[in-house]
Amino acid sequence: MFINEKLKDKLKDICGFNVKFDEPLKEYTTFKIGGPADILVIPNSIKELKEVLITIQDIDIPFFILGKGSNVIVGDRGFRGIVINTEKLNHIKVEGKEIISETGILLADVSDKALEVGLTGLEFASGIPGSLGGAIYMNAGAYGGMIEDVITEVRCLSYQGEELTLSKEELKLSYRHSILQDEPLIAVEARISLDYGNKKEIKAKIDDLTDKRWTKQPMEMPSAGSIFKRPENYYASALIDEAGLKGTRVGEAEVSKKHAGFIVNLGNASAEDVKNLIKLVQDEIYQKNGVKLEVEPRFIGEFIK
């Protein structure tokens, strides 16, 4: 890996003060867990992101694209390389029944914009804590709705900084999957197609889903959302609940007492605590039911073991 003062200066020339060194990543994740990144870069625009990618393409250095950090578990030793945070890519506009938005924006903010202009179809996304880009990456969904229901095309950058646009079909969206997981591509802007609706009805639906989330899920606690994907013919949370694992702890990581599908940070959990608790749950469920639970969040960076 090749990090020197010349590279640091180049990145600062592109992004100014939005380049940080040895930056703790726990402040950039909803789990509030994770060691430092060697370099954290926060581009102000798609143009700056493109320049960053071009700058590092010929250097043997790992990099990772981080949105709102809602579906990642960062190792306690952090990330050796460059983390590119897209939080400032948040420009959004409305054209008739379509919303065109950069992908660093909070998905819930896109849902709020839809409500503001009386467009329906994105209510399910109102409480999802991730970025639009992260939602596209994993085809996020909740309460019967998924990104694939509303997305029509996505503008991307290759890891070399080249631009291309993918249609919905080219995104190859399926349960918690998109082509972005298989190809060196970064979603930077998306076109979302919705329908005209009644603002009062849209707001009522959002309020109802918000109430359900806060009643049934540990929204007040740091977490990475649902920790396991839904296994075929089962619900992970039901299996965990039936196994009596609610409240099970490793260190300060706990299987939520409110919703068994969540692991929460009680205040000072380490990534190692979370990793070990995940394995404990997986082993127990496999032993009792013969079901292999697959982790939904991505493991990023260096772990102690």
Residues recognised as catalytic: 176, 226, 296
Residue 90's nearest CA partner among 163, 160, 221, 190 is: 190
Residue 229 DSSP one-character state: P
Asked if 156 and 163 touch (Cβ cutoff 8 Å), the reply is: yes
Residue 69's nearest CA partner among 114, 15, 33 is: 33
Residues 6+ apart with CB under 8 A from 15: 41, 42, 43, 44, 48, 52
| Edge-to-edge order in the sheet of strand 223-226 | 223-226, 262-265, 253-255, 249-250
Backbone torsions φ then ψ of 281, nearest 5 degrees: -65, -45
How distant is the alpha carbon of residue 282 from its chain centre?
22
State the Cα–Cα distance between residues 105 and 146, nearest whole angstrom: 17
Q: How far is CA 261 from CA 63, 85, 107, 226, 229, in A?
A: 30, 27, 21, 5, 9
State the Cα–Cα distance between residues 30 and 69, nearest whole angstrom: 6
Largest CA distance in the chain: 56
